[in-house]
Structure 1
Amino acid sequence: MSLDSSHRGDSSADSLPADAHGERLKFSGDNSFHRELRRRVDAEFKRSGTRQRDSAQMYLKTAVILATFALAYVALVFFAVTWWQALPLALVLGTAMAGIGFNIMHDGGHQAYSERRWVNRLMALALDLVGGSSYIWQWKHARFHHTWVNVAGHDSDIDLGVLGRLSPQQPRRPWHRWQHIYLWPLYGVTAIRWHLFGDFRDMITGTVGERPFNRPKGWDLAGLVIGKLVFFTLAFGLPLIFHPIGTVLLFYALVSGIAGILLALVFQMAHVVEEAAFPVPDETTQQIDTPWAIHQLETTVDFARGNRVLSWLVGGLNFQVEHHLFPRISHVHYPLVARVVEDACREYGVTYREHRTFSAGIASHYRLLRRLGKPVAAISNAPAVADARAAA
């Protein structure tokens, strides 16, 4: 199966494989709210004369990010001769790596970059340039996560194995008591795990987390293999020609650690916070008792929407509500979409969850980690705190 086909991001999970027990979760309820949201958003784009994809702003942004990545890499590998020259370059390079993920490959992977499939595929391959697999990401994130947000055993993005407990439905281990302390530095290993272990493990086992997926074949497999070869050449091959192995390994860990922390934090602040729900499917019917769009709103929290610099850097992923409802719209348009979504939520009596600042999201994530690490997690399957705190 080629993953070039567009992922609609709606309530249909028909293209997804069943789990190991032959089960596939379904959403229930009235989808009229979702249809009305789509109608209003489409009408707003038509009224403003704005294209949902193929934005000149996005093409310019792509050029800036890729140029920053290339210049920082060249300067670090070929010109830096002292630690005080290399350190800031490593910081810029790690941030640019995360920027490629947040902005370029993310829009491409969600078919949100362009109306042309080959352009979306090309932009999605930017993830392979920085060490991940765009093919496996499609299954892990664009399909499993976006369909079943915060559903333990189905959303692989909240599965840290025994290292952490990110959902009240996951088993608690004794060391989780301290996860609100030790997980922060471990977030820095996120990218390194993808590079050296995660993608290979998924390929061998044929699973992403607890979910089976279709292993790549043909051009998809070729893209994965070539991508890994290119990345390992850039990360280790070329640098080892000019620098000792210890220096290469140190700065690989530093650059990847910076990227990993940024990538992990943006995800965690959108879903693994006190205000987000962790729904439990009905064991008999294998249904979630809410429509798909309502599920997205209950499990997703925006943060720092007014911070334009942050929005630019993280590819609009501080507008996570809008992204989950409309994953095929380019992120440069999320502020426009947010106004429509918030008005519709107010009119329909649906809660719209938001942290006003970046620090409020960080604090909420910390509190939830601490709560989930306790012997009895003081959290329900509904949003855990009053909506007033979400607006803090």
Structure 2
Amino acid sequence: AVHGRVLDLTDFAARHPGGDAILLAAGRDATVLFETYHPRGVPSSLLDKLQVGKMKDGEFAPSFYSWDSEFYKVLKSRVVQRLDERGLERRGGCEIWVKAIFLLIGFWGSLVQMYLAPTFLVAALWSFSMGVFAAFVGTCIQHDGNHGAFATGRALNKMAGWTLDMIGASAFTWEIQHMLGHHPYTNLVDVDEERR
């Protein structure tokens, strides 16, 4: 549901520009996710096509946000304006690929060197190097991939997101914890999953 409107995403999910991340919103009030992921807005005609019902008052949790406030409207327009001024690609771009290649070569190279190391101390140094590269794979490649920002294609974003699994964590649990537990409530100490 978005702003009290119950939406059927069954057919739309396959065409959603942001990939299957939209399915994380299934069965819940997804207003905060919707607003934070669509700063440029979504045509109301699309929401009209997807709407299958309306939530009754009290069926959804109270919001921390005032979506109709003048402050929010000005903030959103300034963010979009600033992004447009900087001329940054919304998804992909040369610098993200260069960074990804560097980090993946560093990670895999460190792993190979760790196993080929002649002594325990040298292996420990290579394992430290691998850990540093793994941290950057997690905070750069996987983060951008799971947010649908690594590439313009869904498959490449999914593969970039799976690099979290490659370094020993879970892209699936990260999507739930980070996208549902952190982004809607960033820095709200009592509810932000990454602040507790």
- The TM-score, its normalising length taken from structure 2, stands at 0.64
Displacement, 1:12?
A: 1.6
Is the counterpart of residue 68 in structure 1 residue 106 in structure 2? yes
Aligned-pair Cα RMSD in Å = 2.9
Displacement, 1:118?
A: 1.9
Distance 1:36-1:114 versus aligned 2 partners, 3 A rule: farther
Identify which of 158, 171, 185 aligns with 1:121: 158
Which sections of structure 1, spanning at least 5 residues, go unmatched?
A: 16-21, 160-392
Aligned residues: 149
Q: Cα deviations across residues 177-213 of structure 1 (Å, max 9, x unaligned)? A: xxxxxxxxxxxxxxxxxxxxxxxxxxxxxxxxxxxxx
Equivalent residue number for residue 91 of structure 1: 128
Distance 2:33 2:79 in 1: 25
Displacement, 1:25?
A: 4.4
Alignment of 1:123-162 (within 5 A): 123-149=160-186, 150-152=188-190, 154-159=191-196
Distance 1:32-1:119 versus aligned 2 partners, 3 A rule: farther
Ranked by relative contact order (alpha carbons within 8 Å, sequence separation 6 or more), the top structure is 1
The residue type paired with residue 149 of structure 2 is: A
Is the counterpart of residue 34 in structure 1 residue 72 in structure 2? yes
Distance 2:120 2:167 in 1: 23
Distance 2:108 2:121 in 1: 20
Displacement, 1:108?
A: 1.0
Distance 1:32 1:116 in 2: 35
Alignment of 1:160-309 (within 5 A): none
Is the counterpart of residue 5 in structure 1 residue 21 in structure 2? yes
Distance 2:189 2:60 in 1: 14
Displacement, 1:48?
A: 4.3
Distance 1:115-1:25 versus aligned 2 partners, 3 A rule: farther
Displacement, 1:142?
A: 1.3
Q: Cα deviations across residues 268-304 of structure 1 (Å, max 9, x unaligned)? A: xxxxxxxxxxxxxxxxxxxxxxxxxxxxxxxxxxxxx
Name the SS for the 1:112 alignment partner.
coil
Name the SS for the 2:107 alignment partner.
helix
Distance 1:144 1:25 in 2: 16
Q: Cα deviations across residues 230-255 of structure 1 (Å, max 9, x unaligned)? A: xxxxxxxxxxxxxxxxxxxxxxxxxx
Which sections of structure 2, spanning at least 5 residues, go unmatched?
A: 1-9, 14-18, 35-58
CA contact (8 A) 1:4 1:121 kept: no
Distance 2:103 2:69 in 1: 38
The residue type paired with residue 102 of structure 2 is: V
Identify which of 118, 142, 147 aligns with 1:110: 147
Is the counterpart of residue 51 in structure 1 residue 51 in structure 2? no
CA contact (8 A) 2:33 2:180 kept: no
Percent of counterpart pairs with the same letter? 25
Name the SS for the 2:20 alignment partner.
coil
Displacement, 1:27?
A: 2.4
The residue type paired with residue 143 of structure 1 is: L
- The TM-score, its normalising length taken from structure 1, stands at 0.34
Distance 1:118 1:31 in 2: 37
Name the SS for the 2:168 alignment partner.
coil
CA contact (8 A) 1:69 1:93 kept: yes
Name the SS for the 2:182 alignment partner.
helix
The residue type paired with residue 55 of structure 1 is: G
CA contact (8 A) 1:109 1:120 kept: yes
